[in-house]
Amino acid sequence: MNTYTLQIGELTRVLPIVPISDELSIASFVILGDTELVDAAAQLVADRLPPVDVLVTAEAKGIPFIYELSKKLGMARYVVARKSIKPYMEEPLINKVVSITTQKEQVLVLDKSDTEFIKGKRVAVVDDVISTGESLRVLEELVELAGGIVTAKAAILAEGDAAKRDDIIFLEALPLFRRNR
């Protein structure tokens, strides 16, 4: 299997390169379960973030990262936009997104208690990877709809053209791989 070797701080990870379409492969970066990497990356991102009041991410792979980041920053609470509307949600705030890996429309949803928590606050929108930037854009829109002020955008990795962006904080660039057919 083709692999891509990634270095984050002192840690090295060998990522499998997997096809996601006829034209494109990605180096699969799945932080779920990798406590050591999440811990190290959260500290490095925490060191670079400007002062904010609230952290917001999207489920699923953003969750371990935001949890650890909130602990590093001494924040007692964080906000997760869900990818489906749950029956226990009150007045859900909904936006739609297509990410590079999912390739079909998904919803991102904030519960009322989260929108109330965000209102009027400085928000950092965070994720594990920013690729097309669609997930980030839709999260930003949700935060703004909730009355929050997006003050920072941060991820562990910026993939493909996202690494050229100067409006996001990230630790490392991750290439995309064109498939030879």
Ligand X SMILES: O=P(O)(O)OC[C@H]1O[C@H](OP(=O)(O)OP(=O)(O)O)[C@H](O)[C@@H]1O
Ligand Y SMILES: Nc1ncnc2[nH]cnc12
Residues near ligand Y (CB under 6 A) are 26-30, 100-101, 129, 131, 159, 174
- Assign 171 to helix, strand or coil: strand
Residue 112: CB atoms within 10 Å: 13
Q: Shortest gap between Cβ of 133 and ligand Y (angstroms)?
A: 10
Q: Select 40 or 129, whichever has its Cβ closest to ligand X.
A: 129
Q: Return phi, psi of residue 57, to 5°.
A: -140, 180
Residue ranges in the chain assigned as alpha helix (H): 35-48, 62-72, 112-118, 134-145
- From edge to edge, which strands make up the β-sheet containing 11-19? 3-8, 11-19, 24-27, 176-178
Residues 42-61 as x/- pattern, contact with ligand X by CB under 6 A: ----------------xxxx
Residue 97 or 146 having the CB closest to ligand Y? 97
Pick what 62 binds: ligand X, ligand Y, none; C-beta below 5 to 8 Å, kind-dependent. Answer: ligand X
Tell me whether residue 110 or residue 136 sits nearer to ligand Y (CB atom).
136
| x-marked contacts with ligand X along 73-112 as a string, rule CB under 6 A | --------------------------xxxx----------
Size of the site for ligand X (CB under 6 A): 19
Confirm if 157 and 174 have CB atoms less than 8 A apart: yes
With residue 14 as reference, give the H or E element that holds it: strand 11-19
Considering only residues 70, 95, 115, 131, which one is a binding residue for ligand X as defined by CB under 6 A?
131
Q: Which amino acid is at 148?
A: G
Decide if residue 135 touches ligand X (CB under 6 A): yes
Q: What is the helix (H) or strand (E) element at residue 152, kind and residue range?
A: strand 149-159
84 contact, one of ligand X, ligand Y, none, CB 5-8 Å limit per kind: none
Tell me if 128 contacts ligand X by CB under 6 A.
Answer: yes
